[in-house]
Amino acid sequence: MSRSAPWSFYGRRSELQQMQRILERRRWFFLQISGRRRIGKTALIQEALRDAGIAKTLYVQIPDSDPAGVVAACNGYLETFGIDERVTSLGALAQLIGRLATQGYVVALDEFQYFHRKQLADFCSLLQAEVDRLAARAADIPGGLIVLGSLHSEMTALLEDRDAPLFNRTTDTLELGHLDIASILDILRVHADDDPARLLFLWNLFEGVPKFYRDAYEQGVLDAARKPLLRRLFFSSSSPLRNEADNWFLRELRGRYDMILQYLAKHPGCSNADIEAVMADLSGPGELRQVGGYLKILSERYRMIERRLPIFSPPRARSGRYYIRDNFLRAWLSALQRPVAAVAFRPVDALVEQADERLSEVEGHALEDLAGQLYEERSRRGIGDFPLSQRIRGYWDRADVEIDLVAVNEEEQRIRFGTCKRNPDRLPGTVDSLVRSAGRFLDAHGRFAGWRIDYVAIAPDIDPALRVELSARGVIPQSLGDLLVGL
């Protein structure tokens, strides 16, 4: 790969503009930024501060430690940033933040959710006093405080619960999600290529986590073939992503949580009953009472899983299905974890081959999500042939109706039903089932009577002969390449 093009800052234009507006006020602010680890929270801050020309900064990554450990870490960062002051307690840290903000500093506290730990909880009360004092003189305070966190529920408990000391103290909030597909394409067009097969492979692995794409760039494999990329990023002793999942969150989860995640990774779209049956087989029927609690913690505290409902279902519908939210976690658990763990005992080439085969299977599910996201992004940008009026989703019911994609355009009274297959040769065999399932859907949802109905077949690549065959059967062929046009 050519290393002539340096790595840059990609995407996040709306978030960057929001941060720039905050910094341009030149008055006290208290900004909360949330998002999973590696999603680019720190990079966003750095870019915004650089664009605003703010040189007075202090960044502190809070360790998962006791007060002494936090104090020691803070003093290390003070030395690194050339600030002469030192702190001796959590109270002194809170007071230091106040003094620095008064002097025009922007202070960033990363992994702020650790202050939810019982042994560090006093800090929020101590910080409250400083924040209230600064807010009372907001117009005269040129600096501000940014708190960053990667555990959503704990950040919420610290800053949004009514009984929390810092409740209603933040002046601004920002939640970072994954980069959109257009931003990923920008990365690939500069540092590799935008071949649809490469996009699907990398999106299935990394989704929109910019740090992972940069890791591949730094290792010189962002434009490499599948197996060399996997080997370099996961299977070498110095591979940057070899321990990423454990370091990110899995070390915090053991026992039943791990069992549920493993099952969801290999069976995306399973029901609550499916999970209960597996847990009963593994642990006995007494475990059934706990399954709901495990799912709630994985969903609400860690945001690792989500329960999806079919399109137009009421919020309390029982037909929900569970999925792992993060592509990297799903790919790791379903395809990479065991081969990587066996590196010391088996030939690496065989393990890489095994991982690649398993990833290819997972890509079938990833294709449905990618196609749906591409439809949404195209609609937002006003390109393509189908403006959306609702977020795109699939549909299923207990009568074995299964539709990969349902898209609705209220204004033009059009509804589109789609089938997605990683192997394009399988598309013709799904057309009759798609039409039957769409008919049952329409019978159950009478409000679409008289609407224009489209059928679409989606695959990473569709050759001309297959396009002719699908079109002759009344189905619109769409490759990923077709859906990338204009992005």
Assess contact for 27 and 142: CB atoms under 8 A. yes
How far is the CA of 43 from the CAs of 187, 212, 242, in angstroms? 15, 13, 22
Final residue belonging to a domain, choices 126, 159, 175: 175
H helix or E strand, kind and range, residue 61 = strand 57-61
pLDDT of 2? 45
The predicted model gives 315-332 an average pLDDT of 89
Q: What is the CATH number of the domain that holds 444?
A: 3.40.1350
In this prediction, residue 286 carries a pLDDT of 61
Q: Please check whether residues 347 and 412 belong to one and the same domain.
A: no
In this structure, what token pair is assigned to residue 135?
């807010």
Same structural domain, 126 and 48? yes
The answer to whether position 4 is within a domain reads no
More confident residue, 273 or 480: 480
Q: Are residues 32 and 74 in the same domain?
A: yes
Q: Are residues 414 and 468 part of one domain?
A: yes
Output the pLDDT for position 1. 43
In a domain, 276, yes or no: yes
Q: Say how many C-beta atoms besides its own lie within 10 A of residue 245's C-beta.
A: 19
Q: Do 305 and 233 sit in the same domain of this protein? A: yes
Asked whether the predicted pLDDT for residue 289 surpasses 80, the reply is no
Q: How far is CA 272 from the centre of its chain?
A: 23
- Shared domain for 190 and 272, answered yes or no, is yes
Summarize pLDDT for 447-475 with one digit per residue, the tens.
999 999 999 999 999 999 999 999 999 99
CB distance 376 to 392 below 8 Å? yes
Average pLDDT score over the chain: 92
pLDDT at 109 over 90: yes
Give the pLDDT score at 390. 86
Q: Give me the number of domains the chain comprises.
A: 3
Average pLDDT over residues 313-330: 88
pLDDT of the residue at 250: 61
Residue with structure tokens 């257009």? Answer: 182
In a domain, 371, yes or no: no
pLDDT over 80 (residue 285): no
> What's the alpha-carbon Rg for the chain, to the nearest Å?
25
- Assess whether 220 and 344 both reside in one domain: yes
pLDDT tens column, 184-199: 999 999 999 999 999 9
pLDDT tens, 121-161?
Answer: 999 999 999 999 999 999 999 999 999 998 777 888 899 99
Residue 3 included in any domain: no
Closest CA to 484 of 176, 40, 180: 180
Confidence of residue 357 (pLDDT cuts 50, 70, 90): very high
Q: 122-136 and 90-102 helices cross at what angle (nearest 10)?
A: 20
Q: Is the pLDDT of residue 253 over 80?
A: no
- Determine the pLDDT at residue 319: 83
Q: Above 60 in pLDDT, residue 3?
A: no
pLDDT at 219: 95
For residue 294, give the nearest of 344, 257, 258 by alpha carbon: 257
DSSP string, 338-399: HHHHTTTTS-HHHHHHHHHHHHHHHHHHHHHHHHHHHHHHHHHHT-SS---SS--EEEE-TT
- Residue 301's domain comprises 179-364
Confidence check: pLDDT of 430 > 90: yes
| 374 lies in some domain | no
**Which phi and psi (to 5°) does residue 26 adopt?**
55, 40
Report if residue 373 sits inside a domain.
Answer: no
pTM of the model: 0.92
Residue 254's pLDDT band (cuts 50, 70, 90):
low
The confidence score (pLDDT) of residue 126 equals 96
Contact 226, 234 (CB under 8 A): no
The answer to whether residues 217 and 318 belong to one domain is yes
Q: CATH number for the domain including 162?
A: 3.40.50.300
Assess if residue 375 is contained within a domain.
Answer: no
Which of 120, 142, 175 delimits the end of a domain?
Answer: 175
The answer to whether residue 121 is domain-embedded is yes
pLDDT digits (tens, 9 = 90+) for 10-36: 999 999 999 999 999 999 999 999 998
Of the candidates 332, 335, 418, the one whose C-alpha atom is nearest the C-alpha of residue 369 is 418
| 350 and 405 inside one domain | no
* Domain co-membership, 390 together with 438: yes
Same domain, 261 and 321: yes
Last residue of a domain, one of 122, 149, 175: 175
Residue range 471-480, pLDDT digits in tens: 999 999 999 9
Does the pLDDT at position 364 exceed 60? Answer: yes
The span from the CA of 9 to the CA of 32, in Å, is 21
Q: Are 458 and 420 in contact (CB under 8 A)?
A: yes
